[in-house]
Amino acid sequence: MAGTARVFIVNQVHQADYRVFFVDQEYQEQNAQIIKGGQLVGQEHQADVKVFIVDQEYQATIKIMRKNFPK
């Protein structure tokens, strides 16, 4: 799925498939391949993957650097 995931950021954690936390170093990334290289979409119905951005690392199912997050 790497490079092809269409990603949408949801407003509520219960709507998300994954919880995302931004890390500073590449070695800290975990499960990043799920969305890395993907494309950010504007509508929920267009998405393959729905994510919620969390502010605590322990809450995350995906840890990714900002530069690798879909644009």
Three-class HEC string of 9-63 = ECCCHHHCCEEEEEECCHHHCECHHHCCCCEECCCHHHCCEEEEECCCHHHCCEE
* pLDDT band per the 50, 70, 90 thresholds, residue 1: very low
17-56 pLDDT, tens digit each: 999 999 999 999 999 999 999 999 999 999 999 999 999 9
CB-based contact 42:7 (threshold 8 Å): no
* pLDDT band per the 50, 70, 90 thresholds, residue 4: confident
The pTM score is 0.92
